A and B are shown apart, each in its own frame.
Chain A
């Protein structure tokens, strides 16, 4: 107890050093330049949190019967959960549009986009063990490929979708080829740099990309050649089926489109995992040198993982472009890469179900929380709630960052870490 108290005091002293200047003092942008404003309470609260948190940790760790429980902690979430949870989630996803709520379908589309990105990145990070910090670059390549092909050549979504994937994969190969020979850490920083290069080029190459203004009026997808149009005439979905044209029809169609794309990603991943290529990816993650000694072409195998991951990123990008009908470089910042990475890591590297759950909680959950807060703020006229709603995106990244660290420290193999063998005897 005494040691615990001493440690808590020490931690609090360090926290005081960390938080007193950067939280206790604020640089306010005033009319006359910067003004330094004190904010002692916020800093004190943080220091107190560290003190009691640390104390609590010690008491928790010293509680009786710890030994017995320590053994249990090593157990993983039973893989049996897969058997019920996955079909239940799938059924939920398929049935969601029946609610008829535009809000839920839109939110579902957003979540599914991240699920697809997460599954795509999972191939690279989770299976092959390559840390790609610029995944958003391939997302951007896909989105801009579609937008530019549609704008320049008048190509439709369904022609461009495979092209967007191929172009993204091509960039993946181009970038991966020189870098994949090197140590893993270099790949991380080069992909980070590449994500940034793509964004800078998109902003500055105005002649092609229209710069920061982005590309507008990107065509919407068609259903077997039928347009989703409000006029309800010949060649539109509403006209063909002889129903009232409504926006929700297109929204639901887009929802099922991203659901199908995400499921395709999932299907390909699951299939590949049970094939030599997927096994080689996992083997690479475990031990690269051993792979080389078994005659596996390490660089090419990494390259396939990188390219296939990039391809799915490209697909998702094309979908993003057609859904928004507008894209600009602002949608493709490092924040996006970090979000997708956080989803993959929290889901448990390599676990498909985990990625879906993480996307649901971290994108869907936080989005709903924000909407809830802003509705509350409006209805009750409460500054506090609307203020919180406005700050949530910033706090969201803070939470993501903390989640990455905490996950790595406590459960590096993820929440759903039971690995299913790819072959049994």
Chain B
């Protein structure tokens, strides 16, 4: 599905990611973990097109067989064409807009095409009304799934923290991604919210969307990941199933050796 090969990212003199290669298989939850400063977020930003890697390749293959070289694509195309969606560590909702509007903005490209570049729909012609209805239906579907249906018309910033996280995930899912990238989705959640999040992520996987996540919360990682990649100082030190990684001496050394700067 996603094949990262020899990915290197330098900022000035600092090499944040050094010749990293790993794979994320279709229909699985792949987690990237590692101590602070290991380069997780950098990898993530490269995959989702926010950074342009210094060298190396990131290839995405759709279930239909279409292939995309993500390292060469502009950021917004990665979402619109390659269908890779993402969330942010510090939630980035459209704070002043309503919950429903947040989900409609996410369907921008499809709805925009239905408006005939604005002009047709401006005059009230064309198939835009139907497209808009479908968009609202899709939003309703996701609102029901994340349990926010009765808050659809509230301003997004008025939601409690956990609900904002779920909304951000629902918003990302509204672009119909083949792969959803989550940047520390469990950060700041209480155990109950964290459990609800796990269920949501597993149900998304069950729908056939692959997941790539960065996480600090080992509970979440171990419970829902199919495959874990461990980074330290920009290099891969371990790669395998949760059980394999847990037993890997290199991982233990990296975490314990770094003291408690993880968490």
Given contacts A276-B105, A295-B80, 16 further A-B pairs with CB under 8 A are A275-B118, A275-B122, A280-B105, A289-B50, A289-B88, A290-B88, A293-B92, A294-B79, A294-B105, A294-B106, A294-B175, A295-B175, A298-B76, A423-B100, A423-B104, A425-B153
Residue of A nearest to B143 (CB): A425
Residue of B nearest to A413 (CB): B96
Q: Are B108 and A280 in contact (CB under 8 A)?
A: yes
Determine the chain A residues whose CB is within 8 A of the CB of B115 once the complex forms: 275-277
| Chain B nearest Cβ from A395, distance in angstroms | 35
Kindly state the separation between the CA atoms of A279 and B128 in the bound complex, as whole angstroms: 15
6 residue pairs, one from A and one from B, having the closest CB atoms: A295-B80, A295-B79, A286-B94, A425-B152, A290-B92, A276-B111
Give the residue of B48, B97, B132 whose beta carbon is less than 8 angstroms from that of A283: B97
Determine the chain A residues whose CB is within 8 A of the CB of B172 once the complex forms: 293-294
Interface residue SS majority, chain B: helix
Determine the chain A residues whose CB is within 8 A of the CB of B50 once the complex forms: 289, 292-293
| Best-buried of A268, A277, A295, A423 by chain B (most CB within 10 Å) | A295
Map CB proximity to B onto A387-422 as digits: 1 under 8 Å, 0 otherwise: 000000000000000000000000000000001011
- The interface of chain B, by Cβ under 8 A from chain A, is 48-50, 75-81, 85-86, 88, 92-98, 100-101, 104-109, 111-112, 115, 118, 121-122, 128, 132, 136, 139-140, 143, 149, 152-153, 171-172, 174-175
Q: A293-B85, A293-B172, A294-B106 are in contact. Are A279 and B101 (CB under 8 A)?
A: yes
| Chain B nearest Cβ from A290, distance in angstroms | 4
- Report if A424 contacts B (CB, 8 A): yes
- Number of residues in A with C-beta < 8 Å to the partner? 30
Kindly state the separation between the CA atoms of A293 and B50 in the bound complex, as whole angstroms: 9
Determine the chain A residues whose CB is within 8 A of the CB of B140 once the complex forms: 425
Map CB proximity to B onto A268-312 as digits: 1 under 8 Å, 0 otherwise: 100110011101101101110111111111100000100000000
Determine the chain B residues whose CB is within 8 A of the CB of A424 once the complex forms: 98, 100, 152-153
Q: Are B122 and A268 in contact (CB under 8 A)?
A: yes
Determine the chain B residues whose CB is within 8 A of the CB of A268 once the complex forms: 122
Determine the chain B residues whose CB is within 8 A of the CB of A421 once the complex forms: 97-98, 100-101, 153
Residue of A nearest to B114 (CB): A276
Q: Are A293 and B48 in contact (CB under 8 A)?
A: yes
Determine the chain A residues whose CB is within 8 A of the CB of B78 once the complex forms: 295
| Chain A nearest Cβ from B90, distance in angstroms | 10
| Chain A nearest Cβ from B151, distance in angstroms | 10
Residue of A nearest to B91 (CB): A290
Kindly state the separation between the CA atoms of A268 and B143 in the bound complex, as whole angstroms: 30
Residue of A nearest to B87 (CB): A293
Determine the chain A residues whose CB is within 8 A of the CB of B81 once the complex forms: 295
Q: Are B95 and A276 in contact (CB under 8 A)?
A: no
Kindly state the separation between the CA atoms of A295 and B85 in the bound complex, as whole angstroms: 8
Residue of B nearest to A304 (CB): B118
Determine the chain B residues whose CB is within 8 A of the CB of A291 once the complex forms: 76, 105
Give the residue of B93, B97, B112, B175 whose beta carbon is less than 8 angstroms from that of A276: B112
Question: Can you list 5 A-B pairs with a CB-CB distance of less than 8 A?
Answer: A294-B108, A295-B81, A296-B80, A423-B98, A424-B98
Map CB proximity to B onto A369-399 as digits: 1 under 8 Å, 0 otherwise: 0000000000000000000000000000000
| Chain B nearest Cβ from A293, distance in angstroms | 5
Q: Are B108 and A295 in contact (CB under 8 A)?
A: yes
| Chain B nearest Cβ from A365, distance in angstroms | 30
Q: Are A425 and B92 in contact (CB under 8 A)?
A: no
Q: Are A279 and B104 in contact (CB under 8 A)?
A: yes
Q: Are B118 and A297 in contact (CB under 8 A)?
A: no
Q: Are B109 and A286 in contact (CB under 8 A)?
A: no
Q: Are B122 and A272 in contact (CB under 8 A)?
A: yes
Kindly state the separation between the CA atoms of A295 and B49 in the bound complex, as whole angstroms: 11
Map CB proximity to B onto A259-273 as digits: 1 under 8 Å, 0 otherwise: 000000000100110
Q: A271-B122, A276-B115, A423-B100 are in contact. Are A295 and B77 (CB under 8 A)?
A: yes
Determine the chain B residues whose CB is within 8 A of the CB of A271 once the complex forms: 122
| Chain B nearest Cβ from A9, distance in angstroms | 41
Q: Are B93 and A287 in contact (CB under 8 A)?
A: yes
Kindly state the separation between the CA atoms of A275 and B113 in the bound complex, as whole angstroms: 11
| Chain A nearest Cβ from B164, distance in angstroms | 12
Determine the chain B residues whose CB is within 8 A of the CB of A295 once the complex forms: 76-81, 108-109, 175
Determine the chain A residues whose CB is within 8 A of the CB of B108 once the complex forms: 276, 279-280, 283, 294-296
| Chain B nearest Cβ from A15, distance in angstroms | 37
Q: Are B106 and A275 in contact (CB under 8 A)?
A: no
Determine the chain B residues whose CB is within 8 A of the CB of A423 once the complex forms: 98, 100-101, 104, 132, 136
Give the residue of B93, B100, B143, B174 whose beta carbon is less than 8 angstroms from that of A290: B93
| Chain A nearest Cβ from B227, distance in angstroms | 24
Residue of A nearest to B153 (CB): A424
| Chain A nearest Cβ from B137, distance in angstroms | 10
Q: Are A419 and B94 in contact (CB under 8 A)?
A: no
Q: Are A279 and B136 in contact (CB under 8 A)?
A: no
Q: Are A275 and B96 in contact (CB under 8 A)?
A: no
Determine the chain B residues whose CB is within 8 A of the CB of A290 once the complex forms: 88, 92-94
Kindly state the separation between the CA atoms of A286 and B93 in the bound complex, as whole angstroms: 8
Q: Are A289 and B92 in contact (CB under 8 A)?
A: yes
Q: Are B95 and A287 in contact (CB under 8 A)?
A: yes
Q: Are B109 and A425 in contact (CB under 8 A)?
A: no
Kindly state the separation between the CA atoms of A291 and B92 in the bound complex, as whole angstroms: 9
Kindly state the separation between the CA atoms of A265 and B50 in the bound complex, as whole angstroms: 36
Kindly state the separation between the CA atoms of A280 and B49 in the bound complex, as whole angstroms: 20
Residue of B nearest to A297 (CB): B76
Give the residue of A286, A294, A298 whose beta carbon is less than 8 angstroms from that of B96: A286
| Best-buried of B108, B111, B136 by chain A (most CB within 10 Å) | B108
Kindly state the separation between the CA atoms of A276 and B80 in the bound complex, as whole angstroms: 15
Q: Are B122 and A425 in contact (CB under 8 A)?
A: no
Kindly state the separation between the CA atoms of A286 and B76 in the bound complex, as whole angstroms: 17
Give the residue of B80, B93, B96, B139 whose beta carbon is less than 8 angstroms from that of A425: B139
